Structure 1
Amino acid sequence: MLVQLAIRNYAIVDSLDLELQDGMTAITGETGAGKSILLGALGLCLGERADAGSVRHGTDRADLAARFDIGSLPAASDWLAERELPGDDCLLRRVVTASGRSKAWINGQPATITDLKALGEHLIDIHSQHAHQALLRDETHLRLVDDFAGHRQDVASLNALYRQWHDRRQRLKRLSEDSDEIQARRQLLRYQVEELDQLALSEGELDTLEREQETLAHAEESLREAQVATDYCDSDDSGALALLHQAVNRVSPLPGSDRGALADALTMLGEARIQIEEATRELHRFIGATELDPERLAWVEERLGEVHRIARKHQILPEELTDLHQRLHAELNGLENGEHDLDTLSAEVETLRDQWRDQARRISEQRRQAAVQFGQEVQGQLAFLAMGKASFEVDIEARDTPGPDGLDRVRFLISANPGQPARPLSKVASGGELSRISLAIQVVAANHSTTPTMVFDEVDVGVSGATAEIVGQLLKRLGQHGQVMTVTHLPQVAAQAHHHLHIEKQAEQDTTQTQMAHLDPAGRVRELARMLGGVKLSDRTLAHAREMLEASQHEHH
């Protein structure tokens, strides 16, 4: 149940907090007062499309929130629990900026518009005057009968099965048409994979080969230069070690005072000799470890040449060959292991078709059973709405071609007068008749809905007098088992409500605002009188309004 609606800077509303109750709530106000604002704000919380025009002029964003009590809504509770958002309350919030962008939250966690719509289906049903137009389409008739039958999940499963069947059927068609191309692709892959198998390039091998090639190619030059460096360090007469030895011999014999002044120099000469000796040993080790191996060099260069040749053939870098090998091998396995085998795919298509037809036949039988009861209940509501002579029926016939929703075409037929054949709604119903037929259908649908909150937006358009009072009684009955909010211009309907919400537009200086308030009994009498007789309220009109309200309240008890 919707328990609270908070609106900030939306359309011509500055700030508004509404507490809502169960039962039937009538929403009234003069034309243009902003009744659509209430439903618009609620619609945005439920994932409807937003635009910059939603934001109150002069502000940077509109902020809307709707709180629902879901303690008795297991479907909504399960939906939230699956997303780790549990709780007995559900808070939907939507912020729309002046640039037209929007953000959404569910119980304080960021959410997508798709999430709002999916969760909203478990929380609220909105029936609008535009439903009249939707009733002229066959797909609406099919959906209503399926909802009435209570097998929405079965139809969704059938739809998914149809998409699988259609997908495999299209793939089979493409493969049948392209079998020559598939065979050519398989042969090419075999050749390419075999060539890469023979190359057998391992992970990291390319880097190793390139380093080894560089070492082997420069081995002779490296040996020569290392030997020269060794000679510089350790030549008998002119090497660095011999020269350092001579330098020490020159300084050591000096008198004690001079030798003391040169102590640091002697120390450094000694350290330099140690460093040169260590460097000489390293050079000797390098010379001893380095070998000239022209045969190994030739093999490494041939191996690298083969790697680069195959990489050029595939127009990739040499280091990408390993990944290419894996991809081509996987594709070849897919082709050779029957993933695209025509016989296997053909059998799968037949299996999916048979599964779809079996499930479609079961759903078709359920539809035919539900259609009879649905037609009877609508017929009963039409009689209640002063169309007792009209005849309503649900016609189900086989489709020319199978579709995602099954084998059936569902149409609502009506005969407004006895003796006339039943014909589609669009061909026989006048505006007023269509309004009443639409209301009858929506009341039947709502009676079987598991959604506890229903909103009716001017569904009483085109009715008046005693019929209007009956419409109010219908909505009041629905409100006795849940929460019903109805936007209406008819006092006969508003008088039946358990609660009355009045919407008023106020102009102050250069700004316009919409105010909404729950009416007490005296306020309800004045509002009903306004709806009955216009702006100027006479004693007679007020008395009529009071009598209307008292009569409807007496019926409550």
Structure 2
Amino acid sequence: MLLELSIRHFAIIDELTIQFEKGLTVLTGETGAGKSIIIDAIGLLLGGRGSSEFVRHGEKRAEIEGLFVVDDQHPVISKALEYGIDVQDSMFILRRNITSQGKSICRVNGKLVTLAILREIGQVLVDIHGQHEHQALMQADQHISMLDGFAQKELSKELMEYQSLYKEARQLQKQLASLSRNEQEMAQKLDLFQYQLKEIEQANLQPNEDKVLGEERHKLAHSEKLFGLLQDSYSGLYGEGRGLDFLSTAVAHLEEAVSIDQQLSSLYESVSNSYYLLEEAAFTLRDQIEQIEFDPNRLEFIESRLHEIQKLKRKYGDTVDDVLEHAARVEEELDSIIHKDDRISKLQLELDGLWQDLLVEAKGLTQIRKQAALKLTESIHEQLRSLYMEKTTFDVRLNEKSPTKHSPTIEGREVSFGPDGIDEVEFYLSTNPGEPMKPLSKVASGGEISRIMLALKSIFSNQQGVTSVIFDEVDTGVSGRVAQAIAEKIHGISLGSQVLCITHLPQVAAMADSHLYIQKREENERVRTTVKSLTSDEKVAEIARMISGVEVTELTLQHAKELLELADQLKQPA
């Protein structure tokens, strides 16, 4: 659940800290006071699209921070650990800054993360329901994701397997399309690849040749200096009156000393071993000196060869190994072009087999969706009855996607595959007995859409264990007993999840466990939004204001008290 939210310099909010409780929290206030702005801030904190327009005028950046707590088994914990985010006491601190230039800085538990990661974590923490979801419900292409969300437990594994095959098939399709491009383009590629391969092959490059030749060039260019250095080192060690001569005398004297004092034997062995090691090093120096020779012709050849290699590296890679790898790729491309028809036939056979496997997986998805559609229809009817839509008939219809010109032919018919299978899902509705079922988008009013969306939320929150749910004005277009039913439905959701709800309905406000009043006021010629947690008496006055709209009378106050008493009775366990 969301424990605390801090907002600074966001829209008309200067600085605000709100603490939230379990259960149902309602946010009420006059239109334009900033209720939806608070929900917008939470949406941005969860990874929503940001803009410099959110930054309060005259400020450099807007800052939003939220403290969330989850249970030990919540999936967000494993997701956070996957991204290297530390989690202590099952708590999450999400922070997002938006600069006046529109740039975002996102953190989770102090760790800088991308907006995509913030969004991925945010979506697991909170489910925001606003007007955009009303719009999604009106779009038939969104219905399949809603059905799949309902059938997530049964569908997720099969859908993952299908999508893996689908991705493989799409990649094969791209390869085939690439091989089937026009002949002129292939001919141009053939000439280019043949030229590149010939140029690289004629150079007869050896792996790592540039590094080997570079080291040899350096050695040849400094051969005279190297000769002098080694000669001086050898002279310092070997010869009469040189290092080894003096060391030999020292060894002889120590050998005689050992015959007098046996405790000097280890010192004698150490000096003696050093003498033989230095003597061997001197012989090695002599051999190295004899091998050094300055060869101008060899140096000239190396310079020429390195120049040739450098030209190839400028065209084909940073190292000789890169150039050789490029040649291997070119050779493979050439082979693909030359044997294009054979390659196409082979890929087509492979793709045909994939289409067959994909159809089997897709039919499995269809079967699961059909069963889920029946369960969802039954659950929706049950929810709608409690929302005074008992005469409404709801149906989830599955149809196979219409084939396109790119659809493969399988088992004698064209099949259209999509990322989610071969199904199209659309919700149908009949609001009056005897009326035919029609697409939801063509028959539902605003109030009916609100109730259907609330019914879906009730089902999904119960099934998926959503931690926090936010409703932004779900009471659009409803009143009377329907409003009371919506209030009871929202409270029912809050029994299993924290619920934050912006509402204009007194019935919903009366069912709240916590009531926050949002107010806009002017200070120093600037507008500020404030939040106040209402006491019992203040709650009565606010609900009375919501009932009357303008003037609060004794009658409206009495009505407000009755609403709260009724709400207390309804909230009592059966």
Residue pair 2:207, 2:321 contacting (<8 A) in 1 also: no
- Offset from partner CA, 1:15-56 (integer Å, 9 cap, x none): 222221221111111111110121011111101122222223
The corresponding residue for 2:227 is none
Task: Identify if the C-alpha distance between structure 1 residues 348 and 532 changes in structure 2 by more than 3 Å, giving closer, same or farther.
Answer: same
**Bigger radius of gyration:** 1
Q: Following TM superposition, by how much is the alpha carbon of 1:350 offset from its aligned partner in structure 2, in angstroms? A: 3.9
Q: Which runs of structure 2 are paired with 1:119-138 in the superposition (5 Å)? A: 119-138=121-140
**For residues 408 and 497 of structure 1, what CA distance do their matches in structure 2 show?**
41
**For residues 378 and 395 of structure 1, what CA distance do their matches in structure 2 show?**
14
**For residues 471 and 208 of structure 2, what CA distance do their matches in structure 1 show?**
72
Residue pair 1:12, 1:513 contacting (<8 A) in 2 also: yes
**For residues 315 and 452 of structure 1, what CA distance do their matches in structure 2 show?**
57
| Larger mean Cα displacement after TM superposition, 126-135 or 187-196 | 187-196
Determine which of 196, 220, 231 is the counterpart of 2:203.
Answer: 196
Q: Following TM superposition, by how much is the alpha carbon of 1:357 offset from its aligned partner in structure 2, in angstroms? A: 2.7
SS at match of 1:130: helix
Q: Following TM superposition, by how much is the alpha carbon of 1:158 offset from its aligned partner in structure 2, in angstroms? A: 3.3
Q: Following TM superposition, by how much is the alpha carbon of 1:318 offset from its aligned partner in structure 2, in angstroms? A: 12
- Offset from partner CA, 1:342-376 (integer Å, 9 cap, x none): 56544543454344333322222111111111111
User: How many residue pairs get matched?
Assistant: 485
- Offset from partner CA, 1:307-331 (integer Å, 9 cap, x none): 756876x594999773454224432
Residue pair 1:206, 1:319 contacting (<8 A) in 2 also: no
Task: Identify if the C-alpha distance between structure 1 residues 72 and 200 changes in structure 2 by more than 3 Å, giving closer, same or farther.
Answer: closer
- TM-score norm. by structure 1 comes to 0.78
Q: Following TM superposition, by how much is the alpha carbon of 1:72 offset from its aligned partner in structure 2, in angstroms? A: 4.6
Task: Identify if the C-alpha distance between structure 1 residues 470 and 187 changes in structure 2 by more than 3 Å, giving closer, same or farther.
Answer: same
Task: Identify if the C-alpha distance between structure 1 residues 304 and 16 changes in structure 2 by more than 3 Å, giving closer, same or farther.
Answer: closer
Q: Following TM superposition, by how much is the alpha carbon of 1:130 offset from its aligned partner in structure 2, in angstroms? A: 2.8
**For residues 79 and 397 of structure 1, what CA distance do their matches in structure 2 show?**
35
The corresponding residue for 1:448 is 463
| Larger mean Cα displacement after TM superposition, 47-56 or 516-525 | 47-56
Q: Any stretches of 5+ residues in structure 1 without a counterpart? A: 219-284
Residue pair 1:311, 1:318 contacting (<8 A) in 2 also: no
The corresponding residue for 2:167 is 163
Determine which of 403, 417, 420 is the counterpart of 1:402.
Answer: 417
The corresponding residue for 1:85 is 86
**For residues 89 and 461 of structure 1, what CA distance do their matches in structure 2 show?**
35
The corresponding residue for 1:37 is 37
**For residues 397 and 459 of structure 1, what CA distance do their matches in structure 2 show?**
31
- TM-score norm. by structure 2 comes to 0.76
- Offset from partner CA, 1:252-301 (integer Å, 9 cap, x none): xxxxxxxxxxxxxxxxxxxxxxxxxxxxxxxxx9xx989999xx866775
**For residues 514 and 64 of structure 1, what CA distance do their matches in structure 2 show?**
15
Task: Identify if the C-alpha distance between structure 1 residues 541 and 72 changes in structure 2 by more than 3 Å, giving closer, same or farther.
Answer: farther
- 2:81 is aligned with what amino acid? A
Q: Any stretches of 5+ residues in structure 2 without a counterpart? A: 225-285, 403-415
- 2:375 is aligned with what amino acid? Q
The corresponding residue for 1:273 is none
**For residues 571 and 315 of structure 2, what CA distance do their matches in structure 1 show?**
83
- Offset from partner CA, 1:136-195 (integer Å, 9 cap, x none): 112221111000001346535533432332122111231244777777677656644542
Q: Which runs of structure 2 are paired with 1:444-523 in the superposition (5 Å)? A: 444-523=459-538
Residue 359, structure 1, aligned to residue 374, structure 2: no
- 1:331 is aligned with what amino acid? R
**For residues 13 and 318 of structure 2, what CA distance do their matches in structure 1 show?**
62
Determine which of 534, 543, 548 is the counterpart of 2:558.
Answer: 543
Residue pair 2:55, 2:61 contacting (<8 A) in 1 also: yes
Q: Following TM superposition, by how much is the alpha carbon of 1:535 offset from its aligned partner in structure 2, in angstroms? A: 3.6
**For residues 424 and 111 of structure 1, what CA distance do their matches in structure 2 show?**
42
Q: Following TM superposition, by how much is the alpha carbon of 1:133 offset from its aligned partner in structure 2, in angstroms? A: 1.6
Task: Identify if the C-alpha distance between structure 1 residues 450 and 297 changes in structure 2 by more than 3 Å, giving closer, same or farther.
Answer: same
SS at match of 1:460: coil
* RMSD, matched Cα: 3.5
Q: Following TM superposition, by how much is the alpha carbon of 1:482 offset from its aligned partner in structure 2, in angstroms? A: 1.5
**For residues 208 and 457 of structure 2, what CA distance do their matches in structure 1 show?**
71
Residue pair 1:3, 1:67 contacting (<8 A) in 2 also: yes
**For residues 417 and 292 of structure 1, what CA distance do their matches in structure 2 show?**
105
Task: Identify if the C-alpha distance between structure 1 residues 291 and 486 changes in structure 2 by more than 3 Å, giving closer, same or farther.
Answer: closer
